[in-house]
Amino acid sequence: MPEEIFFRDLPLDPTVNSEGDLSSVTNRDCIKQSLKMMLNTAKGTRIFNSDYGCRVRAFLFEPFDNSTAQRIGNELEESIKNYEQRIQLLNINVDMILSTTSYEVAIVYRIANTQAVDSLKITLERL
- Please name which of 13, 53, 59 lies closest in space to residue 36, comparing C-alpha atoms: 53
**What local confidence, expressed as pLDDT, does residue 3 receive?**
64
**What local confidence, expressed as pLDDT, does residue 98 receive?**
94
Phi, psi of 46 (to 5 degrees): -95, 120
Is residue 117 over pLDDT 60? yes
| Mean local confidence (pLDDT), 28-41 | 89
Task: With beta carbons less than 8 A apart as the criterion, state whether 31 and 86 touch.
Answer: yes
Please state which CATH number belongs to domain 8-125: 3.10.450.40
User: What one-letter code names the amino acid at 94?
Assistant: V
Helix (H, G, I), strand (E, B) or coil at 33: helix
Percent over 90 (pLDDT), the chain: 57
Instruction: Locate the domains of the chain by residue range.
Output: 8-125
Is residue 126 over pLDDT 80? no
Cα–Cα distance between 9 and 114 in angstroms, integer?
17
**What local confidence, expressed as pLDDT, does residue 88 receive?**
94
Q: What integer best gives the mean pLDDT of the chain?
A: 88
Cα–Cα distance between 81 and 40 in angstroms, integer?
16
| Mean local confidence (pLDDT), 18-43 | 83
